[in-house]
Amino acid sequence: MTMEKILNYIDGKLIKPVSDHWIDNYNPAEGEIYSHIADSDEKDVAMAVEAARKAFPIWSEMSAFDRSNILLKISEGIDRNFEALAKAESEDNGKPLKLAKAMDIPRASANMRFFATAILHTETQAHQTDQQAINYTVRSPLGVVGCISPWNLPLYLFTWKIAPALAAGCTVVAKPSELTPMTAFLFTKICIETGLPSGVLNVVHGLGSKAGQAIIEHPDVVGISFTGGTVTGKKIAATAAPMFKKLSLELGGKNPNIIFADCDFEQAVSTSISSSFSNQGEICLCGSRIIVERPLYQKFVEEFVRRTKALVVGDPFEEETRVGALVSEAHMKKVLSYIDLAKQEGGEVVAGGNQIRLEGRCKDGYFVQPTVILGLDHQCRTNQEEIFGPVVTIMPFDGEEDAIAFANSTAYGLSATLWTENLKRAHRVSHHLKSGIIWVNCWLLRDLRTPFGGMKQSGVGREGGWEALRFFTEQKNICIKL
Ligand code: TXE
- DSSP letters spanning 105-119: HHHHHHHHHHHHHHG
Q: How far is CA 317 from the centre of its chain?
A: 23
One-letter identity of residue 106: P
Task: Provide CB contacts within 8 A for 328, sequence distance 6+.
Answer: 26, 28, 179, 366
Residue 403 has pLDDT above 70, yes or no: yes
Residue 452 lies in a domain: no
Active-site residue (options: 250, 282, 386, 463): 250
Q: Where are the alpha helices (DSSP H) in 180-317?
A: 182-194, 213-217, 230-240, 265-277, 294-309
Beta bridge partners of 437: 415
Answer yes or no: do 417 and 471 share one domain.
no
- Residue 416 has what pLDDT? 98
Q: What angle do CA 283, 33, 12 make, to 5 degrees?
A: 75
* Co-location of 475 and 433 in the same domain: no
Q: What is the pLDDT of residues 263-297, one digit of tens each?
A: 999 999 999 999 999 999 999 999 999 999 999 99
Q: pLDDT-derived band of residue 22, with 50, 70 and 90 as boundaries?
A: very high
Instruction: Give pairs for 17-26: CB < 8 Å, separation 24+.
Output: 17/41, 17/44, 17/205, 17/206, 18/43, 18/44, 18/47, 19/43, 23/178, 23/206, 23/207, 25/92, 25/181, 25/182, 26/179, 26/328, 26/329
CATH number, residue 419:
3.40.309.10
Q: Mention every residue, 6+ apart, whose C-beta is less than 8 A from residue 43.
A: 18, 19
Answer whether residue 343 shows pLDDT above 90. yes
pTM comes to 0.97
Contact indicator for 439, 445 with CB cutoff of 8 Å: yes
Q: Cβ-count burial of 49 within 10 angstroms (0-12 exposed, 13-18 middle, 19+ buried)?
A: buried
Q: For residue 177, is it within any domain?
A: yes
> Based on the domain organization, do 191 and 310 belong to the same domain?
no
284 is catalytic: yes
- 144-148 and 171-175 beta bridge pairing: parallel
Mean pLDDT score, 103-118 = 98
Q: How confident is the model at residue 1 (pLDDT cuts 50, 70, 90)?
A: low
Q: By the 8 A CB rule, do 325 and 428 touch? A: no
Q: Tell me, yes or no, whether 381 lies in a domain.
A: yes
Please give the distance, rounded to the nearest whole angstrom, from the Cα atom of residue 85 to the centre of ligand 1: 22
Checking if the pLDDT of 108 tops 70, the result is yes
Mean pLDDT confidence for 369-386: 98
Do 392 and 470 lie in one domain? The reply is no
Q: Which residue's CA is minimally distant from atom 19 of ligand 1?
A: 208
Q: Read off the pLDDT of residues 31-60 as tens digits, 9 standing for 90 and up.
A: 999 999 999 999 999 999 999 999 999 999
Is the same domain home to 279 and 240?
no
Please indicate, yes or no, whether residues 117 and 243 belong to a single structural domain of this protein.
yes
CA 330 to centroid of ligand 1, rounded, Å: 13
Whether residue 453 lies inside any domain: the answer is: no
- Contact yes or no for 384/254 (Cβ under 8 A): yes
b/e map 19-36, b = 16+ CB within 10 Å: eeebbebbbbbbbeeebb
Distance in angstroms (rounded) separating the CA atoms of residues 342 and 337: 9
Section 462-480 average pLDDT:
94
Q: Are residues 154 and 87 in the same domain?
A: yes
What per-residue confidence (pLDDT) applies to 2? Answer: 79
For 93, half-sphere exposure in the C-beta direction (CA atoms, 13 angstrom radius) is 33
Q: Is 358 helix (H, G, I), strand (E, B) or coil?
A: coil
The pair phi, psi for residue 183, each rounded to 5°, is -70, -35
The CATH code of the domain that includes 41 is: 3.40.605.10
240 and 259 in a single domain? The answer is: no
* pLDDT higher than 90, residue 446: yes
* pLDDT, tens only, 411-445: 999 999 999 999 999 999 999 999 999 999 999 99
In whole numbers, what is the pLDDT of the chain averaged over residues?
A: 97
> 165 and 241 share a domain?
yes
Q: Please list the residues that pair with 5 across neighbouring strands.
A: 36
- List the domain range (segments joined by +) for residue 82: 4-251+458-481
* Catalytic member of 170, 191, 284, 362: 284
Mean pLDDT of the 64-71 span? 98
SS3 at position 11: coil
pLDDT in tens, 214-271: 999 999 999 999 999 999 999 999 999 999 999 999 999 999 999 999 999 999 999 9
- Give the residue from 250, 188, 199, 208 showing the smallest Cα distance to 225: 250
Task: Tell me the CA–centroid distance for residue 421 and ligand 1, in Å.
Answer: 37
Mean pLDDT of 85-102: 98
Helix (H, G, I), strand (E, B) or coil at 280: helix
The pLDDT of residue 351:
98
Which residues lie across from 393 on neighbouring strands?
A: 289, 373
Same domain, 186 and 82: yes
Distance in angstroms (rounded) separating the CA atoms of residues 471 and 298:
46
* Ligand 1 pocket residues where CB is under 6 Å: 148-152, 175, 177-178, 208-209, 212-213, 216, 227-229, 232, 235-236, 250-252, 284, 386, 388
Report pLDDT for 464. Answer: 84
- pLDDT of 463 above 80: yes
Domain count, the chain: 2
User: Alpha-carbon distance 21 to 479, whole Å?
Assistant: 54
Q: How far apart are CA 457 and CA 88, in angstroms?
A: 32
